[in-house]
Amino acid sequence: MHCHAKGPDRYGSLTITLHWLVAVLILGLIMLGFVMTRGSIDPALQFSLFQWHKSFGMLALLVSLIRFVHSLFAAQPKPVAGISPLEHRAARGMHHLLFLLALAVPLAGWMIASVSTLEIPTFAFDLFVIPHLPVAKSDAAEAWWTTAHAVLAYLVLALVALHASVALYHHYVRRDSVLLRMLGFRGHR
Amino acid sequence: MIRRTTIFAAMAFCSTFPQLASAVTNTPSLMEAAGRYAITSSSSIRFHVDQVGGGGIKGNFAKFSGSFNLKAGDLTHAMVSFELKPQSVATGQTRVDAFLRSSAVFDTDNYDTITFRSDRVDQTGPDSAHITGTLTAKGHSGAESFDVKLTSWNGRTIGFTVSGRILRSHYAMDVGTPIYSNVVEFDMMMQGQRN
């Protein structure tokens, strides 16, 4: 996240691991969200998928939180050669936004479970109960947070698509090491 | 059905051990209570399913019917039959009710009735009995038992409390476990009116 002109020329292994772990979790959760909200789905399967969505959503929140804290302290690699200051600022803005949404989307999901009058417990991976947030419960609040969760998730999907497209553009058109660095390779191509 | 069984049990017990009849206020003698009874709509069928972390789902069934037949001194041949309509389930939460009626739980489109037929009645006290029978729900049948306790008797109507625990998994209704307990606890008040 931070720009250090004299930083390392590649990302650390923990940074790379957390990046791809969050990516897999987010994309998996969005796909699960599409499937479980289909109107024709079997109700028993739907209930089960919702609980898996909640469990993996909580895991995504935890990993995103770890990733955010780690990013505050981890040394950031120096910008790839040929990246303009404007491009660098745009990349940083995108990364900040994705960091923020990676936290906001699961938090909005947690709010849905917390404000819902159904009061269905969040029993993460059938191992332990994650308590609801201390908020008032109402059908109106549940509807609002459900919409917010969905809108933010669609926004994440759009930004991830843009983020991935730019990475592929750097790799195949600019032929620089932007993508390779996040795959664990050194920053020279 | 449960009421009938309880009445049978109470009556048979009182006829066999009349000295214990005084242990319960207004406990009828077998001769007094013998007859055929219809379960009235003033009865209540309440249930509760615990959920992890505390609380759970509470509800009731509004539509049911049943009868029991008490024969003087013949507890072993007590006959109880009971039917309830799962479509009438009510929890106070429209979405929960719809889910319970769906194919995930009762599947009321295909199975509109849950039945119980008694097989055996065992006296357990001066005013209590243990009823065993066959419960059929969602195309599955299983042996279930309930504890029954006589609570009222006025010569024409008789009342019982009925309690029992049923495993949802025996009837392909165990969706939501382990978040929601596999055990459904029934707490019923049965009123029977002599025909």
DSSP letters, A130-169, are EPPPS----HHHHHHHHHHHHHHHHHHHHHHHHHHHHHHH
Identity at A11, one-letter amino acid code = Y
Residue A79 backbone phi and psi in degrees, to 5: -60, 145
CB pair distance less than 8 Å for B103 and A47: no
CB pair distance less than 8 Å for B93 and A120: no
Chain A residue with the nearest C-alpha to that of B173: A44
Task: Identify the pLDDT of residue B92.
Answer: 96
Task: Identify the pLDDT of residue B26.
Answer: 59
Query: Between these two residues, B150 and B51, which has the higher pLDDT value?
Result: B51
Provide mean pLDDT across the span A63-86: 90
Q: How many Å separate Cα B139 from the centre of its chain? A: 19
- Among residues A163, A15, A166, A139, which one has the least CA distance to residue A77? A15
Q: What is the pTM of this model?
A: 0.85
Sign of CA dihedral A99, A114, B181, B173: negative
A149 close to A107: Cβ distance less than 8 angstroms? no
pLDDT above 60 (res B15): no
Residue A145 backbone phi and psi in degrees, to 5: -70, -30
Q: How many Å separate Cα A125 from the centre of its chain? A: 19
> Which tokens in the block code for residue B160?
């019982």
A35 close to A77: Cβ distance less than 8 angstroms? no
Q: Where are the domains of chain A?
A: 13-182
Which of A37-51, A83-97, B1-15, B176-190 shows the lowest per-residue confidence on average (mean pLDDT)? B1-15
CB pair distance less than 8 Å for B179 and A119: no
Residue B139 backbone phi and psi in degrees, to 5: 80, 5
Task: Identify the pLDDT of residue A75.
Answer: 83
Q: Check if B172 contacts A (Cβ < 8 Å).
A: no
Q: How many Å separate Cα A166 from the centre of its chain? A: 17
What are the pLDDT digits (tens) for A114-159? 999 999 999 999 999 999 999 999 999 999 999 999 999 999 999 9
Model confidence band, residue B195 (pLDDT cutoffs 50, 70, 90): confident
Provide mean pLDDT across the span B92-121: 96
Provide mean pLDDT across the span B143-160: 92
Provide mean pLDDT across the span A35-43: 95
Residue B153 backbone phi and psi in degrees, to 5: -165, 125
Who among B51, B103, B179 is closest to A43 (CB)? B103
CATH superfamily of B2-194: Lipid/polyisoprenoid-binding, YceI-like (2.40.128.110)
> Which tokens in the block code for residue B126?
């001066």
CB pair distance less than 8 Å for B95 and A42: no
Provide mean pLDDT across the span A47-53: 98
CB pair distance less than 8 Å for B93 and A129: no
> Which tokens in the block code for residue A79?
């910008």
DSSP lists the bridge partners of residue B148 as B129, B162
B82 close to B69: Cβ distance less than 8 angstroms? no
Provide mean pLDDT across the span B13-37: 54
Task: Identify the pLDDT of residue A184.
Answer: 86
What are the pLDDT digits (tens) for A160-183? 999 999 999 999 999 988 899 999
Task: Identify the pLDDT of residue B8.
Answer: 40
B125 close to B150: Cβ distance less than 8 angstroms? no
Query: Between these two residues, B131 and A4, which has the higher pLDDT value?
Result: B131
